[in-house]
Each structure stands twice: as C-alpha cells, then as structure tokens.
Structure 1
Amino acid sequence: MVNSDHQAVDTTDALNQALGRAEELDEALMSAIDAVSYRPYDNSDRISASVSAASVALEHGRALRVLVAGGLPTTALSIMRLQHEALTRAVWLLYAASDLAIAKLSAPLTKETEAAAGKLPMLADMLKQLADKPGAAQPLIGLLAFKDNNAVALNSFVHGGIHALQRQARGYPVSLIVDALRNCNGLMVMAVMMLAVLTGRQAVVHRVSGLQATFADDLPTPLPAKAGPSPEQAQPTAPQDPKN
C-alpha cells in the first residue's frame, strides 16, 4: 500500500531536538576548520582528491538531515552508506592509494577516464589496503566499526530489502531515526577530522577533537574498549606540520 505522505517520521520533540543538535554540530565543525578560509596542507593531487572525498561525505550527511526533516527516512538511511563510502575513499586517498590511482581520479572527466577510474578499489578493498598502513590505524577503527554495526541494514535499505520494505509498511520509530542521526554525526566528525588533518596543522585537529565532548550525547555510543573507539573518536595521523 502506497502511503501518500511517504511514511513521514513523527515530528516529536526528540526528533526535532536531534535535528537541531546535528545542525549545531555541523556549524561548530565548520567553525573549527574555519571553512570560509580553509586551506589544505598543499595543492598536490593526493591531498586535493582526499579533500574532495571528505567534502562529498559531508554533503551526504547534510542531505540525510534534509530528508529526515522532510519525512523521507528510507532514502535518508540509504544515504548513510554513501556517506561512509565517501569517507573511506577520503582516508584511502591520503594513506593507501597509489600514485596511479590518484592520477586516474584527478584527470579531467571523460569517457576514458571514467572507465579507468571505475576499476579502482571499492569499499572492501580500500579497507584491506588501509589495514596495511600504520598511519591509517585510527580512522580505520572507526570505519570498520561503522561497517560492522551498520552494513547489513544499510545494504538492505539501498537494495530495497527487508529493512526498507518492513519500515515502509510499518513505520519508523523515532528512536531509530535519532540513532541514525547520531551515526551520521559520527561520520560528519570523522570527515571534518580528515579535513583538519589535511591542513597539516595540529591546532585545527585539536579544535575538531574538542567538539567530541561538547556533543557527546549527539554522537554514537562508544563501543566496548576491546573493540576500539567509536567512529567519532578515531583520528587520522596528520601530515607533517607546515613551517608556518
């Protein structure tokens, strides 16, 4: 049965508060990296590509909030998989991608370069390659934690599986959407941490890190100690600080 109002999520105080706090976090993150005058460590293709991928992850996170607010939760939750994959790409580009892979993604977009880039590693292979890079150890913990806890459900949403069909038929508990916003916020923090790292300035990294305590209630619940930190706690290793 088709629902004319798209299975709209109940506009409860809890959901409105979660959306408001997510917006506040986004604004605080942008302030922490000084988004207006943001400057990466250098103009190399590697860093530029990683900046672009992290920025794509941020756009997906913002789109998720817009869709939730608009009563479109099924599409909103599906986008979180795109957000995670774009973030994984950003980390992989900085720490694990070969120079040839960087060149393929940095080339002007044509049918030929599209075909070449289409052969680059996807999520599973990027995560495997990152496992061999000591500098990527911390962000990899967060990326794997998110994948292990969410991949099955998100794949189901993306492919029209049981999660999508059952929620479309039966509706979405507000608690589920609030938890999804927390997970999205965690990925937002990781994406902005990548942008901070890509400035090469530890002061910027520390500003982003400091927001985790301020917004702790709006981020994913920390995992047990043996499993490593939750996504928002995982921080990449920065490039060498610039002289200035």
Structure 2
Amino acid sequence: MDRTRAEELIGHLTDLVDLPPFESSDRYSLSRTLAITSLHFGASVRILCDSGLALGSAAVLRSQFEALLRGVWSLHCASDFQVEKLSSHLSAESQQATKNIPLTAEMLGAINEEPSLANLMVSLREFKESSWLPLNSFVHSGIHAVHWTKFEAPQALLDQMFRSSNGLAVLAFQHLAILTGVSTLQSEVVSVCGAYASCLPLPR
C-alpha cells in the first residue's frame, strides 16, 4: 500500500481537471459536486487504510462508490425535477423531498441504458458485483464487521480496499474531465495513471 504515490496521483489529477464545468447549469453543478464528494470519501479511505482500520475503510468505500454513481446518474439520467430536489438547500423539507431519489440498483439500471456509458458501466458493474455484498455487511454490522472486529484484518484486505478506492477516484476524475467539455482531457487522465500502478487496482 503506497499512500505517498496515491496522494501524488490525486494531486496530479486534481491539477489536471481544475477547470470550470462546460455548462453553468444546476445539472452540471450537482454532478460536479457529487464527483468531488466521492473524492472526499476517497481521501478518508486512504487515511483509514493507512491506519489499519478495515471497518471504517469499508464503510466509507461504499459511500465513495455511491457518490460517484450518483454523480454520473445526475448528469446523464436524472430528471430536471430530481436535479432540482438534490440541489435544494438543506432543510427538513428538502431532506424529506429526496426520499424517493433512486438507490444504487436503479441508478445502475438507468446508466446501463445509456450507450455512451458502456465502458464506464463495465467498471461500475465489476465493482458492485465483487464488493457490494461485503461492503453492505460492514456498513450494517454483519458477519464481515463481526469477523474483522474479532480478528486483525490482513494487509491484503486493506490493500485491496485502498487500490479499489483509488480506482474509483480515477473514475471520478474522468467524470470531472467530461464535465469540463475539453475533449482530450479524459484521455489525459488515463495517461497519467500509467505511472501509478502501485496504488491502483491490479489487472484482472
């Protein structure tokens, strides 16, 4: 687990996509905010993994994935009404109004219907199929949480979550690149990652 290299990668990509969104609409603003939310969760995962805290790492990793997923969904699939509800100022009323916003499975289903997102969908589906059940177990204090409270989590588990989180961060940066409207920026994000294999998901 190479946190120093991971922070260098995040810093490099942050500088690369530090541009305003292509549109100043609520939809673009919400989608950008959610991608940044995902990166905030990712920063927490790196710290927790580096501290050997597997339970916290797993719980926050799920939130990182959901924030990224919602960011993509809000740009491509959400209705104007859903964007408006999620963009409202926080209050008891706005919190109640977002109760029926789609959850993970429904968002994935909607994204799957968008032909332009086919490549991204491969990565999202792979993460969900391999990680969703154990992450839910951690979040809801199921058998994974019980087991790794009683026994010290192996370094391999922490390394896997660390790498997965960094992989999700790269997807968030690719999404931020898309939001800038600069046609070459997404491929530039991918090119940067070539030098950081030590902190990214292992090839399957």
Specify the TM-score bucket, using the shorter chain as the normaliser: over 0.9
1:154 equivalent in alignment to 2:135: yes
Residue-by-residue CA offset, 1:182-213 (whole Å, 9 max, x unaligned): 10110000011110110010232122111221
Name the amino acid aligned to 1:68.
C
User: 1:121-160 to 2 correspondence within 5 Å?
Assistant: 121-160=102-141
Aligned to 1:230: none
Q: 2:32 and 2:68 mapped to 1: Cα distance? A: 10
Name the amino acid aligned to 1:164.
A
Q: 2:160 and 2:112 mapped to 1: Cα distance? A: 28
The 8 Å contact of residues 9 and 196 in structure 2, kept in 1 or not, is answered as yes
DSSP-derived class of the 1:202 partner: coil
Whichever structure has more helix as a proportion of its residues is: 2
Cα drift, residue 135 of structure 1: 2.0
Name the amino acid aligned to 2:143.
I
Higher relative contact order (CA 8 A, sep 6+): 2
1:213 equivalent in alignment to 2:186: no
Larger Rg belongs to: 1
Residue-by-residue CA offset, 1:38-60 (whole Å, 9 max, x unaligned): 21111101110000110000000
User: 1:10-21 to 2 correspondence within 5 Å?
Assistant: 15=1, 18-21=2-5
Cα drift, residue 87 of structure 1: 0.4
The 8 Å contact of residues 67 and 73 in structure 1, kept in 2 or not, is answered as yes
1:201 equivalent in alignment to 2:185: no
Aligned to 1:32: 16
The 8 Å contact of residues 95 and 135 in structure 1, kept in 2 or not, is answered as no
Cα drift, residue 134 of structure 1: 1.3
Q: 2:141 and 2:64 mapped to 1: Cα distance? A: 18
Q: Which of 71, 76, 90 is 1:109 aligned to?
A: 90
Residue-by-residue CA offset, 1:70-99 (whole Å, 9 max, x unaligned): 342211121100000000001101111111
Q: 1:71 and 1:220 mapped to 2: Cα distance? A: 19
Aligned to 2:146: 165
Name the amino acid aligned to 1:101.
Q
The 8 Å contact of residues 95 and 136 in structure 1, kept in 2 or not, is answered as no
Which ranges of structure 2 fall in alignment gaps of 5 or more residues? none
The 8 Å contact of residues 22 and 181 in structure 1, kept in 2 or not, is answered as no
Give me the TM-score of the superposition, normalised by structure 1.
Answer: 0.80
Q: In structure 2, do the counterparts of structure 1 residues 123 and 161 end up closer, same or farther at CA, with 3 Å as the change threshold?
A: same
DSSP-derived class of the 2:180 partner: coil
Name the amino acid aligned to 2:10.
D
Give me the TM-score of the superposition, normalised by structure 2.
Answer: 0.94
The 8 Å contact of residues 193 and 208 in structure 1, kept in 2 or not, is answered as yes
Aligned to 1:57: 38
Cα drift, residue 177 of structure 1: 0.9
Cα drift, residue 217 of structure 1: 3.4
Identity of aligned residues (%): 36
Which ranges of structure 1 fall in alignment gaps of 5 or more residues? 1-14, 224-244
